Amino acid sequence: MSIEKKAFGILADGRKVSAYTLRNEAGAKVKIIDFGGALVQIKVPDREGNNADVICGYDQLDSYINGDGYQGALIGRFGNRIGGSKFTLDGKTYKVSVNDNGVNSLHGGICGFNAKIWNAEMVDGDEPRLILTLTSPDGEEGYPGKLDVKVTYTLTANNSVVIDYYAVCDKPTILNLTNHAYFNLGGYNSGKIFDHKLWLDADSYLPTDEKLIPTGEIRSVTGTPFDFTTEKTIGQDFDLTNTDLGLAGGFDHCFNFKGGETEEPVLRGILTDEKSGRQMKMYTNQPCVQFYSGNFLNNEKYPFKNNYPQGLQNALCLETQKMPDAINHDNFTDCVLRPGQEYKYTTIYEFGVI
């Protein structure tokens, strides 16, 4: 089989958590747990053909439950932050769970999709798939409407990890799904990511306040450290004296793709580690990506796999999504989902070598 299921742990209430490992003929391996739909492992070759695990994560279920950082998890209902933990939709104001700085809502609330056990269906084949489904009831975490969600992970023959997001609702609601994998193409245990090179097809970004809530301005990347339209190392302009970088402790900002949302996934980012030769191309039809440089990876209580310690800027996230706090800014991307509409997006992380 190219997909297999094994026990990963047991929750305090007795529910079992399973891990699903997908393999292709090229030797790549992807491991996912049904708790949070989290990506636990992506093993791909370097230029010499040596496989390494290029995402952070944990060995034990307890760390996924109690550790912070949303390691590898599926995020929902609303990825990123909602300022003041409230929004108005069709004239009605909704209050959602407060779990960030005592004021704001982050990544879906107190018990977001990252903390749910998803229903899992394995589909074997040359390109194995894991189909995860979840129903979020009306009013969960304060969000209106019953939401039915399906996320499909596929490991392709060319070493791509494809994530297809799909959702429908029975009342008007807001939705912003993403995945929170932390990448280090040298291997999760290889140290800082400052030497990684990054290209993003993004001509603007969202400045934030001190609590990382967007101010409402959409600012051009031209002449700023946020300009990755020409490939450069992440460390090149990592200057915390810059106001926006200083507030976040590094990059933790929404980058807006040229032309916005597309019908089909297009190439929007390339991450390269010249030392190992690994490269990751990011395709998506989403309008934005949150580039996060791991500025809070400092929880000593929860080391990563094989007891490797956390460390600031030891990994990065490229979370494709719509704009954070979009519902509270008329000039931001549309995040409203209505009955009869389909939320349907795809992100592809294609791994190769240079």
Q: Which residues carry out catalysis?
A: 180, 319
Cβ within 8 Å of residue 307, ≥6 positions away: none
Q: Please classify residue 350 by burial: count the beta carbons closer than 10 Å to its beta carbon, then call 0-12 exposed, 13-18 middle and 19+ buried.
A: middle
Residue 44, amino acid: V
Q: Tokens for 67?
A: 């550790």
CA distances from 125 to 50, 69, 89, 299 (A): 24, 33, 43, 39
Sole residue written with tokens 């939705």: 175
* Dihedral sign from CA coordinates of 55, 76, 174, 262: positive
Q: Where are the alpha helices (DSSP H) in 17-175?
A: 61-66
DSSP state of 114: G
**Segments in 33-143 forming alpha helices (H):** 61-66
Question: What phi, psi does 246 have (nearest 5°)?
Answer: -65, -40
d(CA 222, CA 12): 51
- Of 226, 176, 166, 239, nearest to 199 by C-alpha is 226
The conformation of residue 62, written as its DSSP 8-state character, comes to H
Closest C-alpha to 193, from 272, 255, 118, 260? 272
Report the number of secondary-structure helices (H) and strands (E) in the chain: 2, 27
